[in-house]
Structure 1
Amino acid sequence: MYDINITVTSDAVGTWWATGRHANALDTTQREGWDFLMEMDPHFSVAFPGEDRGGIMVNVVEADDGTLTLTEAPEWDGSVNVIFDLT
């Protein structure tokens, strides 16, 4: 789990997107975990305050300056194919 402060924008037809940042600076271990998850699959479930789990599935892209862009991922089925080079 990572706390993220986001700002959501939508257009006239209801398409939305969001930008944000981690609510707190990630320590070394958290950064390594975040980078690992992003490399595995950049899809996350956004849970809003007051919700136990779940919510909206989003695709997350992180810019070099740490800005996160979140877009809804309605076509994502929860599966991913990842190849790691552990050498």
Structure 2
Amino acid sequence: MDRFEGRARLEWWANQATCLEEYDIDITVTVDAVGKWRATGRHVNALEAPQREGWDFLVEMDPHFSIAFPGEDRSGITVRVVEAEDGTLTLTEAPDWDGSVSVTFDLT
């Protein structure tokens, strides 16, 4: 496979047992000659206000998501997601990400 165009699902996992949110995206993945892949996508449906707020919160807290392709429950591929102002998502593989993040909340 050197190119895939279709649907995928981004999953944001709080830990190994708790998926906080899932987002369906239309995605285009290309693979270069050495096997490195690049992907761009867009949310299948525009996010409504509560979904947008949740998305923005999760991406700000930690932009790493698991990605699942059609027919897969969990793919095990971790990606870093960056969203451009026009809504385009850029996904880069993050194989060395260990799943830890340090978050501080200001409750004042």
TM-score by length of 1: 0.92
Q: Which has the larger displacement, 72-81 or 45-54?
A: 45-54
Give how far 1:86 is off.
4.1
After the TM superposition, list the runs of 4 or more consecutive aligned residues in structure 1 that deviate by more than 4 angstroms: none
| Matching residue of 1:56 | 77
CA-based RMSD: 1.1
Aligned equivalents of 2:90, 2:107: Cα separation in 1: 29
Aligned equivalents of 2:76, 2:96: Cα separation in 1: 15
Q: Which has the larger displacement, 75-84 or 48-57?
A: 48-57
CA contact (8 A) 1:44 1:59 kept: yes
Q: How many residues align?
A: 87
| Matching residue of 2:19 | none
TM-score by length of 2: 0.75
Aligned counterpart for 2:67 among listed residues 21, 46, 52: 46
Counting aligned pairs with the same residue, the percent is 79
Residue ranges of structure 2 left out of the alignment (5+ in a row): 1-21
